[in-house]
């Protein structure tokens, strides 16, 4: 905007060198995001959440003490995109790895990055017990209601009636159980200090989500216990929608089952 | 300073862990090894050496805590018994794939399933032939006394770090529960984070001062690259096989027959050898200490000298396959075993040796 108005007012053509002055910079990629091209589908929420986490780590100046635990699922390659030390866990076990890192390196800042299958199906026990011990870790939880990496199967968080490759007629709760509101469940554990549900589909939600990430890291450094940030997310490929349709569908349907906002903040 | 104590095998594991500079123990109670965690909790090493001790919610969580700790370059371990070790197989495969050092103690009980809490050696296959998925190997040490529980735990850590590979101490409920004199090792200082950074540049301790990030992973989707990873692992295993074979012989030099046994069964067989020798029958005992790498060429050497071998095990016949592979048909290799928690007596082994080898 600045550059455009400047061009209009002066009626002069600026050279490229003149444009790329630090004074004209309005936005830049954090150096913590590597130059590796992301493998995520266009429209997927992972890329935005990655960027926000990388920005917060940079802004807080904690790159050197932060250790990420990557999941199994679409975010398995998270370690290729954020320039910190990483451990790649087995499916669902990230909170167990994070527990050990937290105990053995109490001055580090440990977070897990997990999807709904990882965190709320196969790793339910590890999630609940890490939270219940109040491990000083941050858990970033991508809930898109579907298994993206394996090609669109039903997740524990798939909402009622939602079509997936393993619930082709839509999730029938009488047959397949109810969508698991695991973040709500985690709020009743004494070990969690902060549980919030966010999204990244509009500029306003992105700003709020970034604040939530920052708070989770601040809690971790202050050794306040476990912080959980759920991101209600889109998987337009798995949902078989355009990115725009997916955002609309999420707002219309997913937010009913998973309303946004803080669930616990102590 | 020499310090001799009377203690259970399980207690010796706990004492030795603290003394050999272990940074963290993560475990879940299961009979017959619960004394390991209990002893550690009673000794409160976090006050003395700073060692972390944590009771996990499951064996699955325990081994993955070990994974996380090992990825930080820390000396970490867990212990369990057969059903719990089954739950750890996934984690062991990942740890082997990610090339991380750690120590796992199996105080084996009888199976399959929930089985029995009595001693057994029926986890031999699971330990040395895989257990988890993929082509990997666990360096395996089989103690035959409480003293060796302590000695091999420390050796296990050294081998784990030497090869960046998980090491299994495969004992059983008999050694875990029995009390013997033990000379405990001297206290070794735990490494500081700075020392770990220097010694293990791969450790994920946070980037601090490094330009390149450290990534611990067992994933490689490009087949050509994954083959290279496997080649590197196989090369390491060949190195282990060339350098780390350990075994013990008892009266083998003039033997006409050989008993082959590991762990507590080797202790029992020693008595059987003495009984047979009293009758004038020249029998020796070959005891593999490392079950992987297996002392195959050493056994083959004796195959050229004896008339037959008897593999004695507390299972339905597992190690006997490796003895037969080593001997490669040169002499008959027979098997005698008790299982389900039954422990063979020296006399019944004598009887079996006569029936199977000398009839």
Query: Radius of gyration of chain A from Cα atoms?
Result: 20
- Of the candidates A234, A262, A259, A263, the residue with the CA atom closest to the CA atom of residue A247: A234
The count of CB pairs under 8 A between chains A and B is 126
Task: Answer for the pair B107, B172: CB distance below 8 angstroms, yes or no.
Answer: yes
Task: Answer for the pair B336, B356: CB distance below 8 angstroms, yes or no.
Answer: yes
- Of the candidates A151, A58, A84, A76, the residue with the CA atom closest to the CA atom of residue A114: A76
Cα separation, B356 vs B64, in Å, equals 45
Task: Choose, out of A66, A86, A87, A104, the residue to mutate when testing the contact with B (most B CBs < 10 Å).
Answer: A104
Per-residue pLDDT of chain A (266 residues; tens, 9 = 90+): 444 444 455 557 888 888 888 888 888 999 999 999 999 999 999 999 999 999 999 999 999 999 999 999 999 999 999 999 999 999 999 999 999 999 999 999 999 999 999 999 999 999 999 999 999 999 999 999 999 999 999 999 999 999 999 999 999 999 999 999 999 999 999 999 999 999 999 999 999 999 999 999 999 999 999 999 999 999 999 999 999 999 999 999 999 999 999 999 99
For A178-188, the pLDDT digits (tens) are 999 999 999 99
Task: Specify the pLDDT at position A121.
Answer: 98
- Of the candidates B279, B333, B281, the residue with the CA atom closest to the CA atom of residue B302: B333
- Which residue range is the domain that position A122 belongs to? 2-265
State pTM to two decimals: 0.96
For B105-139, the pLDDT digits (tens) are 999 999 999 999 999 999 999 999 989 999 999 99
Task: Specify the pLDDT at position B28.
Answer: 98
Task: Specify the pLDDT at position B209.
Answer: 81
Q: Mark yes or no for CB contact B216/A69 under 8 Å.
A: no
Task: Specify the pLDDT at position A17.
Answer: 87
CA distances (Å), B145 to each of A71, B170, B187, B263, B265, in order? Answer: 41, 12, 21, 8, 11
Task: Answer for the pair B69, B108: CB distance below 8 angstroms, yes or no.
Answer: no
Give the ipTM. Answer: 0.96
Q: Is B312 helix (H, G, I), strand (E, B) or coil?
A: strand
Q: What is the mean pLDDT of chain A?
A: 95
Task: Choose, out of B136, B206, B219, the residue to mutate when testing the contact with A (most A CBs < 10 Å).
Answer: B206
Task: Answer for the pair B137, B129: CB distance below 8 angstroms, yes or no.
Answer: no
Cα separation, A98 vs B315, in Å, equals 38
What DSSP state is assigned to residue A121? I
Q: Any bridge partners for residue A230, and if so which?
A: A141, A197
Phi and psi at B74, nearest 5°, equal -90, 155
Q: From start to end of chain A, where are the E strands?
A: 66-70, 85-88, 109-115, 137-143, 146-147, 153-154, 192-199, 226-232, 261-265
Of the partner residues B52, B57, B206, the one whose CB lies closest to the CB of residue A85: B206
Q: Mark yes or no for CB contact A79/B57 under 8 Å.
A: no
Q: Mark yes or no for CB contact B67/A100 under 8 Å.
A: yes
Q: Mark yes or no for CB contact B64/A79 under 8 Å.
A: no
CB atoms < 10 A from the CB of A97, how many?
Answer: 35
What DSSP state is assigned to residue A140? E
Of the partner residues B24, B61, B216, the one whose CB lies closest to the CB of residue A87: B216
Complete edge-to-edge strand list for the sheet that includes strand A261-265? A261-265, A192-199, A226-232, A137-143, A109-115, A66-70, A85-88, B215-216
Q: Any bridge partners for residue B7, and if so which?
A: B180
Task: Choose, out of B54, B56, B61, B66, the residue to mutate when testing the contact with A (most A CBs < 10 Å).
Answer: B61
Q: Is A115 helix (H, G, I), strand (E, B) or coil?
A: strand
Task: Answer for the pair A219, A186: CB distance below 8 angstroms, yes or no.
Answer: no
Residue of chain A with shortest Cα separation from B67: A97
Task: Specify the pLDDT at position A8.
Answer: 52
**Residue B22 with chain A: CB contacts under 8 Å:** none
For A122-173, the pLDDT digits (tens) are 999 999 999 999 999 999 999 999 999 999 999 999 999 999 999 999 999 9
Task: Specify the pLDDT at position A123.
Answer: 98
pLDDT band, very low/low/confident/very high, at B142 (cuts 50, 70, 90) = very high
Task: Answer for the pair A68, B189: CB distance below 8 angstroms, yes or no.
Answer: no
Task: Specify the pLDDT at position B3.
Answer: 83
Task: Specify the pLDDT at position B2.
Answer: 72
Task: Specify the pLDDT at position A84.
Answer: 98
Question: What is the number of structural domains in chain A?
Answer: 1
CA dihedral of B56, A106, A71, B96, whole degrees rounded to 10 = -70
Task: Specify the pLDDT at position A10.
Answer: 53
CA distance B227 to chain A (A): 19
Q: Under the phi-then-psi rule, with left for phi > 0, alpha for psi from -120 to 50, and beta for the rest, what region is A177?
A: left
- CATH number of the structural domain spanning residue A151: 3.40.50.970
Of the partner residues B26, B90, B206, the one whose CB lies closest to the CB of residue A90: B90
Q: What is the mean pLDDT of chain B?
A: 97
Question: What value, to the nearest 5°, has the Cα angle with vertex A80 and ends A75 and A85?
Answer: 100
Of the partner residues A67, A70, A90, the one whose CB lies closest to the CB of residue B64: A90
Task: Specify the pLDDT at position A6.
Answer: 47
Q: Mark yes or no for CB contact A105/B215 under 8 Å.
A: no
Cα separation, B224 vs B209, in Å, equals 32
Q: Which residues of A28-57 are buried (b: 16+ CB within 10 A; e: fewer)?
A: eebebbeeeebebbebbbbbbbbbbbbbbb
Of the partner residues B60, B74, B206, the one whose CB lies closest to the CB of residue A65: B206
Q: Which whole number is the average pLDDT over B271-291?
A: 98
Task: Specify the pLDDT at position B74.
Answer: 98
Task: Choose, out of B78, B213, B222, the residue to mutate when testing the contact with A (most A CBs < 10 Å).
Answer: B213
Q: Is A55 helix (H, G, I), strand (E, B) or coil?
A: helix
All domains of chain B in start order, with CATH = 4-193 (3.40.50.970), 247-357 (3.40.50.920)
CB atoms < 10 A from the CB of A176, how many?
Answer: 16
Task: Specify the pLDDT at position A1.
Answer: 42
Question: What value, to the nearest 5°, has the Cα angle with vertex B245 and ends B229 and B124?
Answer: 80
Measured N-to-C along each axis, helices B223-243 and B146-163 cross at an angle, to the nearest 10 degrees, of 140
């Amino acid at each position: 905007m600045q550059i455009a108005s400047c061009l209009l007012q002066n009626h002069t053509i600026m050279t490229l060198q003149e444009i790329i002055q630090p004074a004209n910079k309005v936005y830049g990629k954090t150096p913590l995001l590597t130059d590796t091209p992301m493998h995520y589908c266009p429209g997927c929420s992972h890329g935005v959440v990655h960027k926000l986490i990388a920005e917060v780590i940079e802004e807080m100046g904690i790159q050197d003490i932060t250790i990420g635990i990557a999941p199994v699922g679409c975010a398995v390659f998270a370690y290729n995109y954020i320039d910190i030390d990483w451990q790649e866990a087995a499916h669902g076990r990230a909170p167990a790895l994070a527990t050990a890192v937290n105990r053995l390196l109490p001055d580090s800042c440990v977070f897990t990055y997990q999807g709904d299958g990882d965190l709320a199906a196969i790793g339910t026990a590890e999630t609940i017990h890490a939270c219940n011990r109040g491990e000083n870790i941050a858990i970033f939880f991508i809930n898109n209601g579907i298994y993206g990496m394996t090609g669109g199967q039903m997740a524990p968080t798939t909402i009622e009636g939602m079509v997936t490759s393993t619930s082709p007629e839509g999730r029938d709760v009488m047959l397949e159980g109810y969508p698991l509101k695991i973040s709500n469940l985690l709020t009743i554990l004494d070990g969690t200090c902060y549980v919030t549900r966010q999204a990244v589909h509009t500029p306003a939600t992105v700003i709020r989500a970034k604040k939530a990430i920052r708070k989770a890291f601040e809690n971790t450094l202050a050794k306040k216990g476990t912080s959980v940030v759920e991101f209600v997310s889109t998987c337009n490929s798995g949902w078989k929608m355009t990115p725009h349709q997916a955002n609309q569908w999420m707002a219309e349907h997913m937010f009913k089952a998973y309303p946004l906002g803080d669930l616990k903040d102590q | 300073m020499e310090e001799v104590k009377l203690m259970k095998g399980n207690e010796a594991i706990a004492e030795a862990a603290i003394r050999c500079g272990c940074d963290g123990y993560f475990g879940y109670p299961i009979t017959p090894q619960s004394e390991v965690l209990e002893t550690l909790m009673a000794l409160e090493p976090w006050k003395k050496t700073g060692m972390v001790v944590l009771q996990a919610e499951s064996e699955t969580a325990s081994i993955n805590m070990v994974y996380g700790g090992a990825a930080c370059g820390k000396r970490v371990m867990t212990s369990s018994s057969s059903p719990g070790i089954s739950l750890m197989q996934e984690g062991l495969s990942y740890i082997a794939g990610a090339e991380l050092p750690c120590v796992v103690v199996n105080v084996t009980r009888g199976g399959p399933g929930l089985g029995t809490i009595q001693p057994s050696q029926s986890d031999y296959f699971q330990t040395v032939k895989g257990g988890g998925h993929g082509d990997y190997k666990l360096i395996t040490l089989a103690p035959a006394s409480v003293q060796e529980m302590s000695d091999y735990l420390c050796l296990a850590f050294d081998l784990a770090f030497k090869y960046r590979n998980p090491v299994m101490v495969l004992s059983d409920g008999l050694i875990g529960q029995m009390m013997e004199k033990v000379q405990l090792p001297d206290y070794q200082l735990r490494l500081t984070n700075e020392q770990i950074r220097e010694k293990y540049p791969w450790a994920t301790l946070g980037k601090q001062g490094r330009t390149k990030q450290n990534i611990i992973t067992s994933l490689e989707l490009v087949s050509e690259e994954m083959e290279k990873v496997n080649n590197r692992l196989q090369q390491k295993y060949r190195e282990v096989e060339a350098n780390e074979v350990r075994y013990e012989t008892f009266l083998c030099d003039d033997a006409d027959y050989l008993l082959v046994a590991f762990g507590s069964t080797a202790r029992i067989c020693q008595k059987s050898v003495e009984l047979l020798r009293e009758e004038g029958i020249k029998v020796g005992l070959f005891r593999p200490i490392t079950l992987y790498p297996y002392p195959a060429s050493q056994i083959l050497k004796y195959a050229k000298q004896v008339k037959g071998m008897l593999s004695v095990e507390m299972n339905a016949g597992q190690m006997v396959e490796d003895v037969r592979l080593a001997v490669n048909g040169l002499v008959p290799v027979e098997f005698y075993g008790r299982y389900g928690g039954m422990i063979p007596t020296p006399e019944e082994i004598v009887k079996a040796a006569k029936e199977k080898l000398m009839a």
